[in-house]
Amino acid sequence: MNSRNRLRGTPGKRIAWPPTLAAMRQDVLRAEHLRFVREAPRGGVLHCFVLDCSGSMLAGQRLALAKGLLIALFDRASAARAEAALICFGGNGADVRFGPAVPRWWNERWLRPVGGGGGTPLASGVREAARLLERSARRRPAQQRWLWILTDGRSSDQPTRPLDADEIVFVDFEREAIRVGRCETLADAWDARRFTPEELIG
């Protein structure tokens, strides 16, 4: 099969452009860069978003950027009739702010009151997500469950990968000149994907 045919992909499949462009980076588009939109599982899809609301996310408007990205991701979930959930962590713990449910309304006015401050209890956020995903797995075993963790990773926590997450995506907001690299380390350990917010927004 020549490269032109490979670039067309599998008949009937649509190219997923954000991950394709992330794989491509500054290179010329090649077949190995292509990522395709996955068919929705018959059991439906759940997107569980875990948002870092710690004090470090207030620097450089990171939390504001994360909120904007969340609005876009919730809109996508709503359009696909997928369930969504939002867990916020910061200070001394984590709590569920929404779902799991198919979002019928989601806008900036709802998200604006979510504030930031305090430490980065990443393990608490992941534990809360693991409990939510476990309940969803019991309720709908055939459902595909995505875990999205939006954080700058400024934490020494070493959480365990949630067993009921089928796909995991780290959205890495770290911007310091001297990087901790926690998102990259966890993504490698958990066999997860890692993107910067710019890669997903663009």
- Position 110 confidence tier, pLDDT thresholds 50, 70, 90: low
| 80 contacts 40 by C-beta, under 8 angstroms | yes
Domain 40-201 sits in CATH at 3.40.50.410
**Residue 13 pLDDT > 90:** no
Percent of the chain exceeding pLDDT 90 equals: 41
Percent of the chain exceeding pLDDT 70 equals: 83
CA torsion sign for 165, 158, 57, 89 is: positive
* More confidently predicted of 128 and 117: 128
* More confidently predicted of 95 and 1: 95
* Structural tokens at position 72: 């876009």
* More confidently predicted of 174 and 20: 174
Dihedral angle of Cα 172, 175, 178, 184, to the nearest 10 degrees: 10
SS3 state of residue 171: strand
Range scoring the smallest mean pLDDT among 3-7, 67-71, 170-174: 3-7
Task: Identify the pLDDT of residue 3.
Answer: 36
The residue ranges of every structural domain in the chain are 1-39, 40-201
How high is the mean pLDDT of the chain? 82
**Residue 105 pLDDT > 70:** no
- Position 97 confidence tier, pLDDT thresholds 50, 70, 90: confident
Task: Identify the pLDDT of residue 101.
Answer: 86
Task: Identify the pLDDT of residue 11.
Answer: 43
Residue with tokens 């710019």: 198
* Structural tokens at position 85: 């959930």
Task: Identify the pLDDT of residue 166.
Answer: 94
- Position 45 confidence tier, pLDDT thresholds 50, 70, 90: very high
pTM of the prediction? 0.76
Are β-strands 93-101 and 83-90 bridged in parallel, bridged antiparallel, or unpaired?
antiparallel
